[in-house]
Amino acid sequence: MQSFIHIESPNYLKSDNLTSPADWGAVFGNDRSLALEIGCGIGDFMVKTAMDKPETNFIAIDYYNKGCYKTCRRIDKHELTNVRVLREEARQFIFERIAKGSLSAVYINCPDPWPKKKHRKRRLVNRQFMEFLREYLVPGGDFYFATDFDDYGIDVAGMLPGVEGFENCLAPDLYVHDLPGYHLSKYMLKFMAEGKRIYFVHYRKS
């Protein structure tokens, strides 16, 4: 069992201190567009993306305390003011703290693939989740999904065309193995260095 790391960072929030839904304009001190990364890992993707997009406010969530700690350290080191980090489970957090029709983008990078067939129903991204998420995106809001697990990538790419209210930004391809301008995490780079491929999917709320 991993020891719990206390996080002392001005960019780390606790959901219990937020309203439902949260007033993110008050949290950030401005009314810029709002984006969410689900599963921020150690924060390398989030930091690069937030530096690229200072006009956007980012919420980075992860279920693991250690990931939140490392993400906060990276954010603080780069003195970013447009990212807040929370230790949360995705569905409950979105339902309780995000106003419907308010997210300009959602990023999900290399989530747990639950590789055993009997566990695949535990995967985060499925039709039910996408129908749920659609309600929280602004019209034209972006959904990005990346995975290092072949079966998960092909499964999500095959499922999304059947979900109403989204258009494929990669058409006619269902997925690509290279997405120009999209930052790669250290985990992705390590995986690619082994000669393996990342599956990228990009849809937009129509």
Query: Could you confirm whether 112 is annotated as catalytic?
Result: yes
Helix (H, G, I), strand (E, B) or coil at 54: coil
Angle at 136 between CA 79 and CA 47, to 5 degrees: 20
DSSP 118: G
pLDDT tens readout for residues 4-25: 899 999 999 999 999 999 999 9
37 contacts 109 by C-beta, under 8 angstroms: yes
Q: What is the predicted pLDDT for the residue at 24?
A: 98
pLDDT at 152: 96
Options 2.40.30.30, 3.40.50.150, 3.40.50.1100, 3.30.160.20; CATH for 15-205 is 3.40.50.150
pLDDT, tens digit, for every residue of 153-162? 999 999 999 9
CA–CA dist 187, 111 (Å, integer): 11
Sign of CA dihedral 94, 16, 121, 37: positive
**Where do the domains of the chain lie?**
15-205
Q: Average pLDDT for residues 77-85, to the nearest whole number?
A: 98
Would you state the pLDDT for residue 113? Answer: 87
Write down the pTM of the prediction: 0.96
Per the model's pLDDT, the better-predicted residue between 3 and 40 turns out to be: 40
22-75 confidence digits (pLDDT tens): 999 999 999 999 999 999 999 999 999 999 999 999 999 999 999 999 999 999
For tokens 């689900």, the residue is 38
pLDDT of residue 114: 81
CA–CA dist 168, 185 (Å, integer): 23
Provide the 10 A C-beta neighbour count for residue 76. 15
pLDDT of 118 reads: 85
pLDDT at 116: 86
Supply the pLDDT for residue 17.
94
Instruction: Return the SS3 of 184.
Output: coil
Q: For 112-140, how does the pLDDT look when each residue is reduced to its tens digit (9 = 90+)?
A: 988 888 888 889 999 999 999 999 999 99
Out of 76, 112, 142, 151, the active site residue is 112
Q: Burial, 130: exposed, middle or buried (Cβ in 10 Å; 0-12, 13-18, 19+)? A: buried
Residues sharing a CB contact under 8 Å with residue 47, sequence separation 6 or more, in sequence order:
71, 74, 75, 78, 80, 83
